Structure 1
Amino acid sequence: MTEECYPTTADITQGARRLTLRYHGLCRLAEVGRSRAGRPLLLLTVGQGPRNVLVVAGPHANEAAVGGATVLRLAERIAETCQAGDGDGSTWHFLLCIDPDGAALNEPWLAGPYTLRRHYEHFFRPCAAEQPEWLPPDGAVRAATLPETRTLVELLDRLRPVLQCSLHGIDVGGSFVQLTRDVPGVAERIGKSAAELDIPLESGSSDAFQWPSPGAGVYVMPPASDPAAGDGAHSTWAHAERYDGVTAIVEVPMWACDRAADTTPHPDADRALRVAGAALRRDLPTVAGLLDRIDPRLIGADSPMLRTVRELVGIGPQLSAEWDPAVRPAGAGGLPEMTTARVTSIEVYAQRIPLRAAAMLRRIAALPAVTRLVDSWCDAYEAAYHPRWVPVADQVEQQARSVMAVYQELVS
């Protein structure tokens, strides 16, 4: 592994083992669970203070590599600080990859070349029910079916961390942080870092569409009782709150889109939102039609990719209901200010979701019609947003600095 390339799960594990040898006694590596396929879930612990911080890499399988690289960078810096006698009373716990099974399905692309086509040639992300951070909606935490989820909940219950950081990434956009409670000072810190690294701040993220934003690139999750909290209300992010802990969801882009930071009013938001919604409702059924026409013998009975494709094409009409004027429910509350950044984030989302579905369908059955569709949608994605590659080292540095910004402002 070099700083120019993403690490594999094996690279990350080897890096953690090297840290335990270099910083003997300060760094400890332990198995805390097993994945559905029997892969070890490894926790790297650095320091010996009474206050705990938990950092989780790989909650989304397609984002595991950048999170794992960030974990190693943070762990080494904290170990160096502790060895110099400058520790501040915190013990850091790094879950190297919470979904190693899913991460393995993305690994063929990690060595590059880093192009959108190559990325989507090897793309995988599990359906919602198979993503470890989501909890049962009825609050029955112990009923979580995934062993990865149970492991994460058990860690939260045992460690009671003051801060949990969940490391995420997006394909095209900007850097941003979502918080379960406002932490003043974070926006200024991550903004300064993003400017130094030439990474735009995502200043209108569709992931936090109705969440308050105390500063550019920072969003605060509403209370669980507020429908605007969305899936976050039933997640391990919210679970940390029972111990008065804060969760930070830290996102960095693979490709930067400068429009993601443009906070000027969009010149025709109503039309742009209608076009994006119509495209989403057109393109997902296109994927569904291709799926229906493929010989079932090529598809097989079931697989993680097939479950995700079926989920995406099945929920298509629901995905635009929050923001598309053509389908928003009567009496729905007003939209937030529709800046260029916010509209761009929605437009990216409306292209990303069908592309993901088509890309995974191609991995199931690489028929010419599916391949042509994926390639044409990749070309359209690039033409629409002119994304520019963010070097892996800069992605990792922005994510690591964002984690430290939240931690330092929280405990100061």
Structure 2
Amino acid sequence: MSHLTEQHYPRVKELVLSARVLAAEQPWLCRLRRVGSSRSGRPLQLLSIGHATRAVLVVAGAHANEPVGGPTALHLARRVAADHRLRTGTSWHFLLCADPDGASLHRSLRPASLLDYHRHFFRPAGPEQPEWAPSVLPPDRLPPEATALLRLIDELQPYLQVSLHGTDLGGTWVQLTREIPGLAEPFAKSAAQLHIPVETGTSDAAGWPVTGPGVHVMPRPGTEVPFPSLPEDVTRSTWYRAHRYGGMTAIVEVPMWASDLVDDSRPHPDPGGALRQVSRRLRTQAEQVEQVLARARLGRSYSAAFLDPRDAAADTDAEPPHPLAPLLRASRWALDLVPGLADDWLQPPPAGATRTYVSSIDAFGRRLPLRAGAMLLRTLKAAGDPAAQELDRLVVRWCEEFATAFRARWVPLEHQVEHQARTVLTAARHARVDADAA
């Protein structure tokens, strides 16, 4: 489970500094500008290369706990700046971090193990994620990061938007808002060359049309969803904004730790029984976190995290939220997902459910309570709460069980970046051919 810790994901400041150097070296070609601000006033920085009207927009850092997007964006920017063929008739635009506030709270940039990764873990609640917020909130309640991203898409009108994501443990896959013919084969070839398993049945795209191993196309609006407890409207997310201008979005996932269990397309011998076990374990582990949370003695500054911002502003006696309060809010949001998903997984699985399908849901079921517990643990430790010791034991055990059950092996950072970059370039090439043909 361990690896060389000199490999690290760059902080947002490092990304911006490298982008500034690139822009200074080639000012006739590259431009770095501020395109918005976070809730706390951190700048959202866009690096643009080339001047063509036809555009590709690459978004990094939409999820704070998935830091691979930043180095991939920078790697791509350097390649595009060095190779005029990549920018012939196309300009490239790199949003270096879509959620800098979240990135400041996720501090696992040299994870030596899955436990070390969760010791410093943060992933915002769904309504606070810039890409996902529009799918669950009305326009007047969107966080400024989401508004800035929507405004940027309206400005650039990209024929392709690529969102760079990562998973803690599993394989690689792609989600598309519209099919890209020709993408599946080079995607699979790249993964094989870099010894990254293709996750052929990810729960993130359960029931979606498939155009090749690990390449999933989002179903049409109104299609029945496999997990009814997750009612968000993906067509309102930032991923679909490019469709207003004839464009589309590709989401590219790559793992930090790989598991060959997610690339097993054989039929599962008892998917129903396995998912019932996953459901029971999910309820049990979530209840253990709930019990710790119920005993926690957190102060008013943490409790203020749960107030509507407008209500908090109107309450002159309210304390300002603790800096780590977003972790508590995210932990509560993750726990609230558990009852519905546990019920979903008790339903009969799809016919022919594969081992990969079950493994992906198994991993999802392990992540929810583990992440909720890890974020709560950080807040309890900061508050000096004695309940932290009990929760620490749970987090340690769950990380060990997760890594052992899935035979986790570290994917070298350069392989994560190279595979993601190759997939972006292939998607841009094939999407452009498809757009020109249309």
- TM-score grouping bracket, smaller chain normalisation: over 0.9
TM-score normalised over the length of structure 2? 0.87
Q: Percent identity?
A: 46
Residues 1:153 and 1:362: Cα distance change in structure 2 (over 3 Å): same
**Cα deviations by residue, 1:311-352 (Å, 9 ceiling, x for unpaired):** 122221112344433xx6xxxxx7253111111101011101
* Counterpart position of 1:49: 52
Match of 2:181 in 1: 184
CA distances 1:11-44 after superposition (whole Å, capped 9, x unpaired): 1111111111222211100000010010000000
Measured in 2, the distance between the counterparts of 1:343 and 1:72 equals 35
Alignment equivalent of 1:379, drawn from 384, 389, 400: 400
Distance 2:133 2:58 in 1: 18
- Counterparts of 2:391 and 2:63, CA distance in 1: 24
**CA–CA distance in 1 between the matches of 2:201 and 2:342?**
16
Deviation for aligned residue 1:227:
4.1
Summarize deviations over 1:355-410 as a string: whole Å, max 9, x none.
00000011010311010010011111112111000011111111111111111111
2:124 is matched with: 126
Equivalent position of 1:362 in the other structure = 377
Q: Distance in 2 between matches of 1:149 and 1:250?
A: 19
- Out of 222, 226, 237, the position equivalent to 1:225 is 222
Worse overlay, 2-11 or 313-322? 2-11
**Distance (Å, rounded) in 1 between the aligned partners of 2:43 and 2:224:** 36
User: Which runs of structure 1 show a deviation greater than 6 angstroms over 4 or more consecutive aligned residues?
Assistant: none
SS of the equivalent of 2:219 reads coil
Contact 1:166 1:248 in 2 (8 A): yes
Alignment of 1:389-400 (within 5 A): 389-400=410-421
Correspondence 1:353 to 2:368: yes
Q: Which position in structure 2 is the counterpart of 1:87?
A: 87
Aligned to 1:8: 11
Alignment partner for residue 153 of structure 1, among 150, 155, 170? 150
1:148 offset after TM fit, Å? 0.4
What letter corresponds to residue 356 of structure 2 in structure 1?
A
The answer for the alignment partner of 1:246 in structure 2 is 248
- Equivalent residues of 2:80, 2:86 under 8 A apart: no
Deviation at 1:47, TM superposition (A): 0.9
Cα distance in structure 1, aligned partners of 2:30 and 2:191: 30
CA positional deviation for 1:101: 0.3
Shift of 1:9: 0.7
CA distance 1:9–1:115, change in 2 (3 Å): same
Alignment of 1:209-288 (within 5 A): 209-228=206-225, 231=232, 232-288=234-290
CA-atom RMSD in angstroms:
1.9
Aligned residues of 2:133 and 2:142 also touching (Cα < 8 A): no
1:36–1:234 Cα change, 3 Å? same
Shift of 1:298: 9.2
Q: Whole-Å Cα distance in 1 between the matches of residues 251 and 328 of structure 2?
A: 28
SS in 2 for 1:407: helix
Q: From the superposition, tell whether residues 407 and 161 of structure 1 become closer, same or farther in structure 2 (CA, over 3 Å).
A: same
Q: TM-score, normalised by structure 1?
A: 0.92
**Which letter maps to 1:346?**
I
1:300 aligned partner: 302
Aligned residues: 398
Tell me which residue corresponds to 2:101.
101
The match for 2:293 among 291, 294, 297 is 291
Determine helix, strand or coil for the equivalent of 1:61: coil
| 2:269 alignment partner AA | P
Aligned to 2:385: none
1:323/1:335 contact within 8 Å kept: no
Which structure 1 segments of 5+ residues have no match? Answer: 329-333
User: What is the match of residue 71 of structure 2?
Assistant: 69
Residue of structure 2 in register with 1:165 after alignment? 162
Structure 2 counterpart of 1:42, which letter? Answer: Q
Counterpart of 1:362, as a letter, is: L
Alpha-carbon deviations, 1:186-209, whole Å to 9, x = none?
A: 110110000000000010000001
Counterpart amino acid of residue 372 in structure 1: R
Task: Give 2:317's aligned residue.
Answer: none
- Look up the equivalent residue of 1:240 and give its one-letter code: A
Q: Deviations over 1:74-104 (max 9, x none)?
A: 111011112xx66320111100001000001
1:179 aligned partner, one-letter code: L
Which secondary structure state, in structure 1, belongs to the residue aligned with residue 225 of structure 2? helix
Cα deviation, 1:227-248, whole Å, max 9, x if unaligned, reads 4396422311112211111100
